[in-house]
Amino acid sequence: MKADLLKRLFKAIRSEPPSKVNVLLASIVEEERRKGHVELARQLAQILERSSQPSPEDLAPSGFDTSERSFKELPRSRRSNAPLVTVVPPQLIRHQMVLREDIERRFARIEREYAARGRLSKFGLKPRKKILLFGRPGCGKTLGAERLAFNTGLPLLKVRFDSMISSYFGESATNLRSVFDAAMEKPCLLLLDECDFVARSRNEKNDVGEVPRVVNTLLQLLDDYDAPGLLVATTNIEESLDRAIFRRFDDVFEIPKPDSPQIQELLRLSFSALVVSKNIKWKELSERLNGLSAAVVVTVAQSAAKLSILDGRDTISLAEIERAIAELEETRGLQG
Ligand SMILES: Nc1ncnc2c1ncn2[C@@H]1O[C@H](COP(=O)(O)OP(=O)(O)O)[C@@H](O)[C@H]1O
Ligand SMILES: [Mg+2]
């Protein structure tokens, strides 16, 4: 069990009502299940069920009521009535990440500042709240936002750009405003995922219509943002992000591709439910996979694990990993 989860459990037992403790116990069950400890997860879930009957809201990661109902007025597009945000069910929020130490520290710092927001405010200081994550696809930008939601206990609200951008003059900007209003009302982590259009649009000076309008509104809303929760934006674009965008965020950093030590950790983590054969030369293997995104490394590991399980074994050896790498090379090359 990860240290942060343990700490939260202890704190909850000390100071939270039983329903909130149940919430954490449920996330521990989920974590064990995700790790592949299916039998342990089943037994833990059984114990939980016997001792309490948590309501769906109780399954939230911590302190907040994250049911869709609790956001009484989920912002909706005025014309189509389509929801402008999705509330990610707390039991689906993932938090396990493999990161270079300096990047891990940047995430941890955001979480620590948020946890200390009360203490900071006594000194007239605010935690860093507006975060921009950038980097190549599959290195953990979306996962990073989930992890921040998990570790702060904030409900995760994902902005739906599909329903946000309306063809009606000026309506997209109104839509975006109502999303920010919702984030003012109740603490949450507002996720603007893959908002590449912000960076792109500023380079296309002749562009007219809704997108530049939304970009301008977004920049203005970012300037004024002082909501109780966090805002995380992500983009794959790095080179064309200009300073005007950077300075609107409290923290901007890249999530890089994993280096060889992180690749090793990703592989080991993916194989944690299996017996790992001694014939695997981790260092050599991780160096061969260097240059791939974390997502591709995880895919290779998972397909190797599946090959082994389908063959009726619970041991992973170099043979399955080699087969998984060969399959990947065949389908898309090893360029990550
Ligand atoms: N740093 C990481 N640590 C662990 N797993 C990762 C990491 N980055 C990516 N992954 C894996 O790859 C998948 C895709 O990552 P994602 O966060 O969607 O990438 P991005 O948003 O940067 O394109 C995740 O669901 C996870 O399985
Ligand atoms: Mg993503």
Beta strand extents in the chain (DSSP E only): 85-87, 130-134, 156-159, 189-192, 230-235, 251-254, 275-276, 315-316
Q: Are the C-beta atoms of 80 and 87 separated by less than 8 Å?
A: no
Q: pLDDT tens across 295-304, in order?
A: 999 999 999 9
Mean pLDDT on 194-203: 72
Ligand 1 probe mutation, 35, 107, 133, 139, most atoms within 8 A of CB? 139
Residue-averaged pLDDT of the chain: 84
Ligand 1 neighbour 238 (Cβ under 6 A): no
- C-alpha 272/C-alpha 35 separation (Å) is 7
Looking at the DSSP assignment, which residues form a beta bridge with residue 156?
189
Ligand 1 neighbour 143 (Cβ under 6 A): yes
- Any idea where the domains of the chain sit in the sequence? 3-59, 68-254, 260-332
CA angle 241, 151, 163 (to 5 degrees): 50
Please name the amino acid found at residue 186.
K
Helix (H, G, I), strand (E, B) or coil at 77: coil
**pTM of the model as a whole:** 0.79
Domain 68-254 has CATH 3.40.50.300: yes
Q: At what angle do helices 210-224 and 171-185 cross, to 10 degrees?
A: 20
Architecture field, domain 260-332: Orthogonal Bundle (1.10)
Q: pLDDT tens across 237-295, in order?
A: 877 666 777 889 999 999 999 999 999 999 999 998 899 998 899 999 999 999 999 99
